[in-house]
Amino acid sequence: MLVLHYAPGTIASAVAIALEELGLPYELQQVSFAEAEQTGPAFHALNPKGRVPVLVTARGPLTETGAILEYLAQLAPAGGPEGAALMPADAYDAARVRSVMYYLASTVHVAHAHMRRGTRWATQESSFADMAAKVPQNMADCCAFLEDNVIEGPFVLGETLTLADPYLYVITTWLKADEVDIAEYPKLAVFAAAMEERASVATVRSRNMLSR
């Protein structure tokens, strides 16, 4: 049985949405950030990086959201009960999905983390407020890029759901805390609304795994 180690409101919820979409059986294991469980030896045995998500498989733990999502898509190449395969068979479209996921991982998630995780990049107390102050602008720039260049609508690649969608959706749930008004990005707002209509998102939200 797959076991998803997660904390509420984190990018681990993208993995839960994909598991639901694909109809794959899994169990949840909550990691308490309040108790700094992700910094302890038990969790580090699963992920020495001290981050969620971790997906524990029969062959061992997997980390990094994009890699886990691709693994799930390969486990269910024909898609889930609603038929969405989540990773296109076409090489160009598959690369587009990866391109979005890499951007979300390397740029958008990192921009967001500067709000509360400044200790990763600086040591002086005075630096943290300055980094946090820049988050709304950086996240707004990311939203504008996604709006103008990426989202076909309603989903990232158009009518068909892909791995990029749960990944991007969870990030949209962080925008309010990042002081970005999603209403200023009509395609992004339509995208988030379309995701919220999905049973997968409703299920994950009912478990208090999503912000907003």
Q: What is the C-alpha separation between 187 and 43, in angstroms, rounded? A: 38
Question: From the CB of 83, what's the least distance to ligand GSH, in Å?
Answer: 27
The rounded radius of gyration (Å) of the Cα atoms in the chain is 17
Q: x/- binding map, residues 10-29, to ligand GSH, per CB under 6 A?
A: xx------------------
Q: What is the C-alpha separation between 165 and 22, in angstroms, rounded? A: 13
Please identify, among the stretches 50-58, 77-85, 88-96, 190-198, the one whose residues bind ligand GSH according to the rule CB under 6 A: 50-58
Q: Does residue 47 belong to the site contacting ligand GSH (CB under 6 A)?
A: no
Question: From the CB of 54, what's the least distance to ligand GSH, in Å?
Answer: 9
Structure tokens at 136: 């709304």
Strand pairing category for 2-6 and 26-30:
parallel
Residue with tokens 């691709």: 70
In eight-state DSSP terms, residue 30 is E
Q: Which is nearer to ligand GSH, 30 or 154 (CB)?
A: 30
Question: From the CB of 178, what's the least distance to ligand GSH, in Å?
Answer: 13
Q: What is the C-alpha separation between 118 and 43, in angstroms, rounded? A: 22
Give the count of residues interacting with ligand GSH (CB under 6 A). Answer: 11
Site for ligand GSH in 74-113 (CB under 6 A): 105
Burial grade of 177 (CB within 10 A; 0-12, 13-18, 19 or more): middle
Q: Which is nearer to ligand GSH, 80 or 118 (CB)?
A: 118
Instruction: Yes or no: say if 142 and 135 are a contact pair by the CB < 8 Å rule.
Output: no
Q: Which of 44, 117, 176, 212 binds ligand GSH (CB under 6 A)?
A: 117
Q: Does residue 195 belong to the site contacting ligand GSH (CB under 6 A)?
A: no
Question: From the CB of 208, what's the least distance to ligand GSH, in Å?
Answer: 15
Q: Does residue 70 belong to the site contacting ligand GSH (CB under 6 A)?
A: no
Question: From the CB of 114, what's the least distance to ligand GSH, in Å?
Answer: 12
Q: What is the C-alpha separation between 211 and 50, in angstroms, rounded? A: 21
Q: Which is nearer to ligand GSH, 184 or 208 (CB)?
A: 208
Instruction: Yes or no: say if 62 and 20 are a contact pair by the CB < 8 Å rule.
Output: no
Q: Does residue 50 belong to the site contacting ligand GSH (CB under 6 A)?
A: yes
Q: Which of 49, 47, 48 is nearest to 4 (CA)?
A: 47
Which residues here bind ligand GSH, judged by CB under 6 A?
10-11, 38, 50-53, 64-65, 105, 117
